[in-house]
Structures are given as C-alpha cells and as structure tokens.
Amino acid sequence: MQAEKTTITSDTTDILHHVGLINADLETLAACYERLGFTLTPVSLPRVVTKPGGTPELLGVGNRHAIFSDNYLELLGVVDPQRWGDITKEQRGPYDIDVPLSRYPGLHVMHFGSEHIESVRERLVRQGVACSEIRRFQRNVQTENGEKLMKARTIHFAPGSDPEGLLQIAQHDTPELVLQPRYMVHDNGATALTEIIICAEDPLTYLSKYERYTGHEGNCPDTNYCILDLGHSIIKIVDPRRLDSMIPDFPIPVLPFMAAFTVETISLQRSRVVLSGNGIPFLEKDESIIVYPQHACGCAVVFKKDHHI
C-alpha cells in the first residue's frame, strides 16, 4: 500500500518578499536607479480593494521594479494625482504613501514573504498580534505574451504599529508574472536582494516585533545591534551609533527609519565600473561598495559579492 503524502505548511515568513522606495516623482526615482545599474520593469498600476466586498481598484499610484530570482526592489510614486486625491485615507489604508513621504523620501516598504499566508495569519492571531484579514492585491504586468494581471494576497498590521515604514506580509499567487527572467540581468551585476537595515533608538524592541511578525528568533551580538535571519534574507536593526560605524556619516532624517538595503552582485568590479561610469560617488568598506542616500534617492545601497557564484 502506498503511503499517503503529508503536506507540510510553514507559519513563518522566510524571505524579504520585497523592499521599496517612495518618491513624489516616480520618473526621477526610476532614473536614479537606472544610473545605479538596475534594469527596471515598465510602469505597473496597483489595484486594491477599497471597500468591503468590492473588487480591486486603481489607486493612482504606479511602480517599477528591479527583479531578482526570489524577490524584488520596488520604486513607488503617484502617477495619477486626481485619482489618488479622490481616494480617502481610510480607503488607502496601509497603501497611503503620503504618510511616509511626509517623513522623508526614500526606503519605506518592507514586506515579508510567505508561501502559506493562511498559516501565518493563524499564528499571528494565536500570538495576539493585531493584523488584518488576508486582502487581495493586483497590478498589471507586461509579459512577452502581452499584459496580464498579477495577483497576490497580503496581511497588514494595526495602524500605528510600524512607525518605521509600510510593513506587510505577502504571498505571490502568480509569481511567474512578477519574477520574469528577462528583467533579472542588471548592469551592476546584482543577483539578489538579501538584507535591509532598520535604524531605531531601541533595536531590541524592533527585533521582538519582527520576531512576532515572521515567526523567527533573532539575536543581539551587541546592545545596539540585532539580527533576524529569515533563512533567505536578513534584517539588521541598529541604533544611530552602530549605523555610523557601518556606514560612516549617514545622514539620519528621522527615527525610526529604513536606512539601507543590500544586494549581492556577481562582481564588485562590475558594480564599480557602472557607478564610476555614471558619475555616482561611492565608499568601499569591508569588502562592499556603499552608495549614500544623496545619490540613491533617500537610502544607502550596499553591494556585496555573491559568494555562491
């Protein structure tokens, strides 16, 4: 007799689904990241449910993406001011980009990725974490066979829970429409988005929160430095003093905030050549290349050698 197959589901989130920058001018933001050597997708228009029982609607914002094999970098801005202005703050909900923009233009989005979002939500409820129902999300995507509609599901957290940015848990329903290989070749050699740095006065408090959100346990090598390893991505939480030791003279806009993200590259020399050729200043430190916020639209970008290649 053949044994029955056991389906194993996980209630953890094991990767940075994506991180994202917000700017009032999407064209300026996109041009900046193209100069940094990233290949970007065409403009896409997100759709979300704005009223109970409704269908996903356009918000008036648009985004472009730098795609990697398992996740992506999002660049987000308003593309239809009239439509955006017609939607109330209540309808925008966790997608209200005016709030983070009022703090500073730059890195504001951190979504944790899951392949079993229902199990994740069940765990959050058991732990007493205030969170939304699972919501639908859609946006148009250009494919080699024409325009299609990508679909995802998301969970967001209670208003005021995340002053550092826009945090959600997300699951792809159509990953093949988002993670298209034709967009994965970047002039700077980037192959993966691997880390994000959060700066806060009390790193341990934020580590505890992210442990609840993700289902993983972290550690603090020092009182001002905590690490949460998701398995496929890493979150580093530091205070301003530790951030300054990692990225000297970092211009802190406000606390807490999302300071930097890291991409692995097939060759630091390739990244170096692209940045130099485009007149982008950078710092070389600890076998990495760092582009400061002044030249990356509000956050630091760290390039590290991909040691898997």
Query: Domains plus CATH for the chain?
Result: 15-183 (3.10.180.10), 191-305 (3.10.180.10)
pLDDT of residue 5: 43
Q: Which residues of 55-79 are buried (b: 16+ CB within 10 A; e: fewer)?
A: ebbbbbbbbbbbbbebbbbbbbbbb
pLDDT classification of 209: cutoffs 50, 70, 90: very high
**Average pLDDT estimate for 63-68:** 97
pLDDT of residue 176: 97
Predicted TM-score of the model (pTM) = 0.93
pLDDT tens per residue across span 86-145: 988 888 888 889 999 999 999 999 999 999 999 999 999 999 999 999 999 998 999 999
pLDDT tens per residue across span 144-189: 999 999 999 999 999 999 999 999 999 999 999 999 999 999 999 9
pLDDT of residue 292: 98
**Long-range pairs for 208-211: beta carbons < 8 A, 24 or more residues apart:** 209/161, 210/235, 210/237
Q: Kindly write down the DSSP assignment for every residue of the chain, as one continuous string.
A: -PPPPPPP---S--EEEEEEEE-S-HHHHHHHHHHTT---PPPB-EEE--STT---EE-SEEEEEEE-SS-EEEEEEES-HHHHHHS-HHHHGGG-THHHHHH-SEEEEEEEE-S-HHHHHHHHHHTT--BPPPEEEEEEEEETTEEEEEEEEEEEB-TTS-TTSEEEEEEESSHHHHS-GGG---TT-EEEEEEEEEE-S-HHHHHHHHHHHHS---EEEETTEEEEE-SS-EEEEE-HHHHHHHSTT----SSSEEEEEEEEES-HHHHHHHHHHTT---EEETTEEEE-GGGTTSSEEEEEE-TT-
pLDDT of residue 46: 85
CA distance 92 to 86: 10
Q: Which two tokens stand for residue 248?
A: 């000297």
pLDDT classification of 45: cutoffs 50, 70, 90: confident
Q: Is pLDDT at 246 greater than 80 in this prediction?
A: yes
Cis before 256? omega within 30:
yes
212's CB contacts (< 8 A; 6+ apart) are 124, 127, 129
Question: Which comes out higher in pLDDT, residue 307 or 3?
Answer: 307
Name the burial class of residue 307, with classes exposed (0-12), middle (13-18) and buried (19+) by CB atoms within 10 angstroms of its CB. exposed
